[in-house]
């Protein structure tokens, strides 16, 4: 595992964007696994800036998003489809037919999960998977549990995840209780994983995930088993990582 310690959120975002842009420059038809939430917004803004300058071209890129709320249409401002268009897709030249996000309005959840797994395989797998980490160690919507979920699945959100996400909705009752998420196998099969994290409130879970045991109670801990993971975090988020505890 490589760790890049950033000064702050802006520096973290630039470092993450550098890694993503390098992937696209080296392989223009890269398959990018993309994430939502507050953590990647700065990286997306930096990528947009470099695109406008002509430094990076997304025309041949395929994007596969990690997750989506169940029950929200793409037009809903709180859907992850809406988020991705607002913060990234509408500002770069990713081809619309190459954008893939779980269908929150699919009538059959099991069929939608099968469709998404088949799609990932048809794309040849993911070249670079971008991730954040939740306060309880979830990645995507892979919540703490008794076993790692391997495939795309429809999950009931934990109370801590609902609490963390309610700031985006009018109230807690408006937060969807279920979501589709890419499974741990698809995530772990990505050729490269980029995890970004910022803020003192994430320091404890970062330490638990990367200095503790591998356990489905902390889903992000599985990343310890991947051979190509880069962790980019600001000083606050990495403050509890002991010196020498992880290869940098």
The catalytic residue positions are 67, 136, 138, 143
Query: Are the CB atoms for 194 and 16 separated by under 8 Å?
Result: yes
Q: How far is CA 74 from the centre of its chain?
A: 18
Cα distances (Å, whole numbers) of residue 171 to 22, 75, 158, 162: 40, 19, 16, 10
């Amino acid at each position: 595992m490589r760790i890049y310690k950033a000064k702050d959120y802006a520096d973290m975002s630039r470092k993450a964007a550098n890694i993503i842009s390098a992937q696209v420059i080296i392989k223009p038809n890269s398959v990018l696994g993309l994430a939502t939430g507050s953590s990647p917004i700065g990286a997306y803004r930096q990528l947009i800036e470099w695109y406008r300058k002509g430094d990076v071209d997304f025309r041949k890129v395929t994007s596969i998003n990690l997750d989506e709320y169940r029950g929200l249409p793409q037009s809903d401002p709180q859907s992850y489809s809406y988020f991705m268009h607002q913060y990234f897709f509408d500002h770069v030249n990713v081809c619309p037919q190459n954008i893939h996000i779980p269908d929150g309005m699919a009538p059959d959840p099991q069929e939608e999960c099968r469709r998404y797994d088949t799609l990932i395989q048809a794309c040849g797998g993911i070249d670079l998977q971008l991730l954040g980490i939740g306060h309880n160690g979830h990645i995507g919507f892979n919540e703490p549990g008794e076993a790692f979920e391997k495939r795309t699945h429809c999950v009931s959100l934990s109370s801590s995840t609902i609490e963390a996400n309610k700031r985006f909705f009018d109230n807690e009752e408006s937060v969807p209780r279920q979501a589709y998420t890419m499974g741990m196998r698809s995530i772990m099969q990505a050729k490269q994983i980029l995890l970004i994290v910022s803020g003192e409130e994430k320091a404890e879970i970062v330490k638990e995930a990367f200095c503790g045991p591998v356990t489905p109670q902390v889903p992000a801990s599985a990343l310890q088993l991947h051979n190509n993971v880069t962790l980019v975090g600001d000083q606050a988020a990495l403050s509890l990582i002991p010196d020498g505890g992880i290869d940098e």
